[in-house]
Structure 1
C-alpha cells in the first residue's frame, strides 16, 4: 500500500497534537489547589479568619496529587523531564523564600517548594531503577528525616507525593489511606490537641486532611469535560507573587 508524504506528515502532526492535549481535570485540580492555598494565606492579611485554615488543608495534598499525576504519564518519566521539573522547583524555592518570610509572621519552616522538591526525588527513585536515582531518593529521605522540623509538612509531607503516586490508579478507597499520611503531614497531634480544647476549626481540618486525596482523585476521574485555562510553567511564579500581593493588601488595610 502506497503512503504519500502528505499522509505521513498528517499522521505525525495528529500524533503530536494528541500528545500535547491537556488534561482539563488536572488543570482544574491545580487551580483549585492554588485557590485553597490563597484562602489559607488570607488568614495572615489582618482579619480574624481562622476558619480559612480548613480549606487551606486541601492545597498541599492536591499539589502532591498533581505532581503524581504528571509523573504517572509515560512521557514525563524520562530523566530529562524530571530533571527540568526538579530544576523549576529548586529555582522557585530560592526565589520564593524572601517573599514567604516577608509575608508569613515568624515562620519556623522553609516555604513549601523544598518539600515538593524532595518529594519529587523520592518519586523519581521509585520510578527509575538507576542507582543514581535510588541514591538521590535515599538522600532526600535522610534530609527529610534530619530537617523535618524545618520543612513545611515535615517528613510525611516529603512522602506524600510518592503515596499519591501509589494510590493514583487504585480504587477510590486507597485515597483515604493517603489521607492518613496527609493528616500526619499536618501535625495531627497539634490538631488533635486543638480539637480537645474545643477549637472550632480543628475537627473540620482533620476531616479535610483525611478526605483531600480522595476528593482530588474523584475530581481527576470525573471532571474530564472541563477546560480551565492551562496551568503551564509560568504558574511557578504565582507562588512568590501571591505572597507579595497579599503583603501589599495587608499593608493597604493596616
Structure 2
C-alpha cells in the first residue's frame, strides 16, 4: 500500500518545466564549450561554456531540494547512473579532448552528490559517504575536472536554492574557484579577450540559473529523463565525427 501511494504521488507530481529547460540549456552550453576542440579558432565559446557545469550542479541541487530526505532510493539510482556513465564516457572523452589532464566531469558530479546528500540527510551512512567523497576530492584534486571546489558546488547551490537572490554570490565564488580563478585572472591581465567575460560568467552563472528556475515555470520543453545520461558520451562521438570531416 505504501508503494502504491508513493507511485501515485509521483504520477501526480507536476513536471518542473523550468528545471528541464535549465538542463537543456546546460547541455547546449556544454556542447558550445566542446566545439572549441573541433578544429577552428573559437576560443570565445569558452565563455558560454562556463554556464554548463554550475547549471548541471544546480539541476542536481534542485532535485535534492524537491525530494523527501527520508526517501533515498531515487538518490541511489541517481548516483548509480552517474557512476555508470562516468565509466562509459571516459573513452569517448579521451578520444575527443586533446591531451586531457583530468577525468570527465561525471565523477565530480557523483562526488558532489554524495557531499550534498550527506549535508541534507542526518543518517550516519550518508554522512560517512560525504566524508569519504570529500577525502577523495582532496586526494584526487588534480585529476577531477573542476577539482575540490567543483565537488563543493552542488552543496553550495543547495544551501542557497530557496534563499534571496543575493545569496547566489556564494556559489558564484565557488564556481569561480572551480574554474581555476588564478589562471583566468592571469589571462585577463595578459589581455585575453575571453578571460574577463569568463570570470563574470562564473560569478553570475548560479544567479542566472536560479532566476531561470524561479521565473520560467510556464515553459514546457521536452522532459529530460534518464536517456539524457547517454547524451554525454554520444556528444563526444558526434563532435569527433564532425572534426574528422572538418579537418
| TM-score interval (norm. to shorter) | over 0.9
Question: Alpha-carbon deviation of 1:77?
Answer: 5.8
2-side partners of 1:166 and 1:86: how far apart? Answer: 20
1:238 counterpart (214, 217, 231)? 231
Asked if the contact 1:70–1:76 (Cα under 8 Å) also holds between the matched residues in 2, the reply is no
1:71 counterpart (55, 64, 78)? 64
TM-score by length of 2: 0.95
Pair 1:180 & 2:173 matched: yes
Question: Alpha-carbon deviation of 1:176?
Answer: 1.7
When residues 96 and 14 of structure 1 are mapped into structure 2, their CA distance, relative to the original with a 3 A threshold, is closer
2-side partners of 1:16 and 1:64: how far apart? Answer: 23
The total of aligned residue pairs comes to: 243
Q: Name the structure 2 match of 1:197.
A: 190
Pair 1:220 & 2:213 matched: yes
When residues 98 and 14 of structure 1 are mapped into structure 2, their CA distance, relative to the original with a 3 A threshold, is closer
1-side partners of 2:9 and 2:75: how far apart? Answer: 22
Q: Name the structure 1 match of 2:31.
A: 38
Q: Name the structure 2 match of 1:252.
A: 245
Q: Which has the larger radius of gyration?
A: 1
When residues 17 and 136 of structure 1 are mapped into structure 2, their CA distance, relative to the original with a 3 A threshold, is closer
2-side partners of 1:195 and 1:233: how far apart? Answer: 39
Question: Alpha-carbon deviation of 1:132?
Answer: 1.2
1:53-76 Cα offsets, whole Å, 9 max, x none, are 000000000000000000111347
Q: Which runs of 4+ in 1 moved over 2 A?
A: 11-18, 74-77
Question: Alpha-carbon deviation of 1:124?
Answer: 1.2
When residues 253 and 73 of structure 1 are mapped into structure 2, their CA distance, relative to the original with a 3 A threshold, is same
2:92 counterpart (99, 102, 106)? 99
TM-score by length of 1: 0.93
When residues 16 and 118 of structure 1 are mapped into structure 2, their CA distance, relative to the original with a 3 A threshold, is closer
2:46 counterpart (43, 53, 61)? 53
Asked if the contact 2:69–2:120 (Cα under 8 Å) also holds between the matched residues in 1, the reply is no
Question: Alpha-carbon deviation of 1:166?
Answer: 0.2
RMSD: 1.5
Residue segments in structure 2 that go unaligned for 5+ positions in a row:
none
Question: Alpha-carbon deviation of 1:12?
Answer: 10
Question: Alpha-carbon deviation of 1:127?
Answer: 1.3
Moved more, 159-168 or 126-135: 126-135
When residues 198 and 47 of structure 1 are mapped into structure 2, their CA distance, relative to the original with a 3 A threshold, is same
2-side partners of 1:202 and 1:34: how far apart? Answer: 22
Residue segments in structure 1 that go unaligned for 5+ positions in a row:
1-10
Secondary structure at 1:173 match in 2: helix
Question: Alpha-carbon deviation of 1:185?
Answer: 0.2
When residues 219 and 13 of structure 1 are mapped into structure 2, their CA distance, relative to the original with a 3 A threshold, is same
Secondary structure at 2:133 match in 1: helix
Question: Alpha-carbon deviation of 1:18?
Answer: 2.4
